[in-house]
Amino acid sequence: MTTIMDVETRSGVSRSTISRYLNGKPVTSQNRQKIEQAIKELSYRRNPMASGLKTSKTYTVGVVLPEITDPYFPRLVKYFQNYMHENGYQTIFNSYGNDPELEIEHVKTLANKRVDGLVVATINRKGNHIRECLDAGLPVVLFDRLIEGLDCDSVTVDNYQAVYDAISLCIRKGHRKIGFVGGSEYYTDITRFRGLCDALGNAGISLREEYINFANILEHDATRQFMRLMTLTDPPTLIFCSNIYHALGAFEAMLQYDLVIPRDVSVITFDRLSASPYYGFIQCIHPEFASICQPHKELSLQTAKTLLKRIQFGMDNFEPMRLELKTSFYMTESVADIKEDS
């Protein structure tokens, strides 16, 4: 393996000057030429472990996320990675398959690997593993899900308000029997559920427990959850699907049981199915579900920027940056207007 010493003897320029050249610092054009030639002739490549040993920088960041096979994450991954790559960072993605323990393991592994920063879309309600990182001086950005009581940079969306507004709108359209399907282990779903509750409460509608179907997404399938509400003796007139899995579940239920939307039931989803890559064809199947749309690209970009800033700025004078991006609402005829019925 050729080292900087070889370049030194070959070019006749001293190591440190070469090092400075490599790090983009000013060097006389004479030396620059000699160095460049020697590097080329020897096809020298800097050893990142040696430099990392000195600088404690790996130029690698880690991203820990629930499940890479989701329709939701690959695109985020892509934007994030591109942005980091443009800024000289490599990205290691680890997906924990919605397993809380595995998430913690991945976080620790990456911390031990001395990544320069970490993005975590956590499934855990407790943040000890995150706090350990923070305490050790490792920048962490919480993505998509917050942890209560943990002071940490974060990038999320306005889950509560978006659902509150959407459901309020539906109530104005005459819906009073409103169902909810969602995953019990997600911060996001629980926050969205609160939005739904408050919208109902504010309209003087009391919650009916049989209309609420939380389930562990690993154990129950979303289609069945949806159909459980549909087969109640007094089913809801509108069902809110709290995430993209449950949106898919509703979609499959519609296909499988020949439901006619919104005749049989109105549907609203969080995340628009057809916005996922290679799901565009869903627009051909009518009606497309009304949905709360997340700004995917901006989410990943802001996450990347936040992380980069924290890496540069350091953990001193720590003032958490908490970004909450705005969603938009995409209304369709999947929500019936039933003013006259009531």
List residues binding DNA (CB under 7 A): 1, 3-5, 12-17, 19-20, 22-23, 26-28, 30-31, 44, 46-47, 50-51, 53-55
Among candidates 107, 145, 114, which has minimal Cα distance to 48? 114
* Contact criterion met (CB below 8 Å) for 100 and 147: no
Of the candidates 148, 219, 234, 284, which one interacts with a second copy according to CB under 8 A? Answer: 284
Q: What angle do CA 95, 321, 117 make, to 5 degrees?
A: 40
Question: Least distance (Å) from a second copy to the CB of residue 92?
Answer: 5
Binding pattern for the stretch 309-328 against a second copy, x by CB under 8 A and - elsewhere = --------------------
Stretch that binds a second copy, among 19-27, 83-91, 184-192, 196-204 (CB under 8 A): 83-91
Q: Given the complex with DNA, which of 54 and 263 has the nearer CB atom? A: 54
Q: Given the complex with DNA, which of 14 and 37 has the nearer CB atom? A: 14
> Rule CB under 8 A: is residue 40 a binding residue for a second copy?
no
Does an H or E element contain 303, and which? helix 296-313
Task: Please return the burial class of 122, using the count of CB atoms within 10 Å of its CB with bins 0-12, 13-18 and 19+.
Answer: buried
C-alpha of 284 from chain center: 27
Q: How far apart are CA 18 and CA 36, in angstroms?
A: 9
Q: What angle do CA 176, 182, 183 make, to 5 degrees?
A: 160
Instruction: Note the maximum CA span of the chain.
Output: 89
> Rule CB under 8 A: is residue 287 a binding residue for a second copy?
no
Question: Least distance (Å) from a second copy to the CB of residue 283?
Answer: 9
> Rule CB under 8 A: is residue 294 a binding residue for a second copy?
no
100 binds, among DNA, a second copy, none (CB under 5 to 8 A by kind): none
Q: Given the complex with a second copy, which of 80 and 211 has the nearer CB atom? A: 80
Q: Where are the alpha helices (DSSP H) in 136-272?
A: 159-172, 187-202, 222-230, 244-256
5 binds, among a second copy, DNA, none (CB under 5 to 8 A by kind): DNA
Please give the C-alpha separations between residue 251 and each of 58, 207, 224, 295, in angstroms, as whole numbers: 44, 25, 12, 22
> Rule CB under 8 A: is residue 68 a binding residue for a second copy?
yes
Q: How far apart are CA 196 and CA 170, in angstroms?
A: 11
Q: Given the complex with a second copy, which of 135 and 340 has the nearer CB atom? A: 135
Of the candidates 256, 314, 320, 331, which one interacts with a second copy according to CB under 8 A? Answer: 256
> Rule CB under 8 A: is residue 263 a binding residue for a second copy?
no
Does an H or E element contain 81, and which? helix 73-86
19 binds, among DNA, a second copy, none (CB under 5 to 8 A by kind): DNA
Question: Least distance (Å) from DNA to the CB of residue 55?
Answer: 5
Question: Least distance (Å) from a second copy to the CB of residue 157?
Answer: 20
Please give the C-alpha separations between residue 267 and each of 101, 172, 307, in angstroms, as whole numbers: 34, 15, 36
Of the candidates 19, 20, 36, 52, which one interacts with a second copy according to CB under 8 A? Answer: 52
Among candidates 191, 194, 186, 237, which has minimal Cα distance to 216? 186
Structure tokens at 84: 């980091």
14 binds, among a second copy, DNA, none (CB under 5 to 8 A by kind): DNA
The residues of the shown chain that bind a second copy, judged by CB under 8 A, are 1, 45-50, 52-53, 56, 58, 60, 67-71, 73-75, 77-78, 81, 85, 90-95, 97, 109-114, 245, 248, 251-252, 255-256, 277-278, 280-281, 284-285
